[in-house]
């Protein structure tokens, strides 16, 4: 018979061998496994964090990219269908409406002296009957406003027959509040690019009045009420072309070679060339912009858009910039 100590040692050795056959590990092996798992988890967490940051950055720009491209395409289509009232038509209107010229070949100049022909009496620098109007925003430091005639986008209805296929189109930026979104305690202040299109009948009436009185087809009230819903049945439309608009700038000129030295065109004179710059931010950044000054790159939060360099766009990571140069079909 074996001693008791011998049996005990055999049991222990047998137990160890049995536990290894069943896949048991030692404490050292367990610590090494935990260390390797910790390294792998850290690397995985870093990869997930990097992917999340990349997705967040992409999501903050994809909306601005989509809206910016669509807005520039809509504006380009409108401009390529632009129509201006030719000087020959304006002079013909002068003769038709100016009965005094038809009667005596001219009108008195201030009641004194001889007769002055109707064409010479017109102030060409202030002729508002071209069907075109541009405010570059230089005087006020704001964004541009644009109005022009374009060929109709659709077929005129029966009630509009005989009124032509022209539509008056207006583009302007408006700062207004949107309904409160999820997570926001109050409506968000945003700047939008608005496109308003008048119906054929209203365009026809305004064009006749402009040719008869030498007054612009667009009034100050039109810009104030550009977002108002059109009258039912008028054929007019109002749409938001782009949201979260930082800049909408237009520069018109007639000579490519003298572009940088060109004198700004008259507000009512359609240029031969036009440069358009549209800058958009994202919805996440726009939540911080609480005043109109902020949207101009000024105010408390305006630096989020300009990074302290209003004239340099390369460092504005939260703003997308789109630029277009287009030749207009026939200047006035």
Residue 42, in any domain of the structure:
no
Residue 262, in any domain of the structure:
yes
Q: Is the pTM of this model over 0.75?
A: no
- pLDDT for the residue numbered 292: 87
- pLDDT for the residue numbered 111: 44
- Residue 88 is given by DSSP the state H
Question: Looking up tokens 């027959």, which residue turns up?
Answer: 161
Alpha helix (H) ranges present in 81-156? 87-97, 99-104, 118-121
- Residue 177's φ and ψ, nearest 5 degrees, are -100, 135
Q: How far apart are CA 125 and CA 266, in angstroms?
A: 7
Residue 177, in any domain of the structure:
yes
Structural domain for 206, as ranges: 59-85+129-327
Residue 287, in any domain of the structure:
yes
Helix (H, G, I), strand (E, B) or coil at 49: helix
Residue 68, in any domain of the structure:
yes
Residue 63, in any domain of the structure:
yes
Residue 183, in any domain of the structure:
yes
Give me the number of domains the chain comprises.
Answer: 1
pLDDT of the chain, 332 residues: tens digit per residue: 555 455 445 444 444 444 445 556 788 888 888 888 889 888 888 888 777 666 656 666 677 788 899 999 999 999 999 988 876 666 555 545 444 444 444 444 444 444 444 444 455 555 677 889 999 886 666 899 999 999 876 555 555 544 568 899 999 999 998 875 545 556 788 999 999 999 988 998 888 888 877 778 899 999 999 999 998 888 899 999 999 999 999 988 888 777 655 555 678 888 888 999 999 998 888 888 888 888 888 878 888 888 777 777 777 788 889 999 999 886 55
- pLDDT for the residue numbered 14: 46
Residue 227, in any domain of the structure:
yes
Alpha helix (H) ranges present in 245-332? 283-286, 292-295, 303-306
Residue by residue, DSSP assigns 172-195 as EEEEEEPPPPTT-SSPPEEEEEEE
């Amino acid at each position: 018979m074996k001693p008791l100590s011998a049996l005990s040692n055999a049991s222990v050795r047998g137990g160890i061998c049995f536990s290894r056959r069943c896949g048991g590990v030692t404490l050292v092996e367990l610590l090494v496994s935990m260390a390797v798992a910790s390294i792998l988890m850290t690397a995985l967490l870093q990869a997930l964090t990097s992917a999340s940051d990349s997705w967040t950055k992409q999501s903050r720009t994809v909306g601005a990219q989509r809206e910016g491209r669509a807005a520039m395409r809509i504006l380009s289509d409108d401009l390529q269908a632009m129509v201006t009232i030719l000087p020959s038509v304006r002079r013909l209107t002068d003769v038709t409406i100016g009965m005094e010229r038809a009667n005596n070949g001219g009108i008195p100049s201030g009641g004194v002296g001889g007769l002055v022909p109707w064409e010479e009496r017109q102030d060409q620098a202030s002729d508002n009957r071209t069907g075109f109007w541009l405010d570059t925003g230089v005087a006020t430091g704001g964004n541009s406003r644009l109005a022009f005639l374009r060929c109709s986008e659709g077929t005129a209805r029966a009630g509009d027959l005989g009124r032509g296929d022209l539509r008056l189109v207006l583009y302007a930026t408006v700062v207004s509040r949107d309904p409160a979104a999820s997570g926001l305690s109050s409506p968000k202040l945003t700047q939008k690019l608005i496109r308003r299109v008048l119906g054929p009948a209203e365009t026809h009436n305004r064009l006749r009045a402009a040719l008869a009185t030498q007054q612009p087809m667009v009034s100050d009230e039109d810009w104030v009420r550009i977002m108002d819903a059109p009258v039912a049945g008028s054929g007019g439309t109002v749409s938001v072309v782009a949201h979260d608009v930082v800049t909408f700038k237009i520069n018109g000129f007639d000579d490519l070679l003298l572009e940088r030295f060109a004198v700004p065109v008259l507000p009512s004179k359609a240029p031969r060339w036009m440069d358009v710059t549209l800058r958009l931010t994202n919805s996440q950044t726009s939540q911080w912009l609480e005043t109109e000054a902020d949207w101009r790159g000024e105010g408390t939060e305006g630096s989020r858009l300009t990074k302290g360099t209003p004239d340099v766009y390369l460092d504005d990571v939260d703003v997308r910039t789109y630029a277009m140069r287009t030749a207009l079909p026939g200047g006035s």
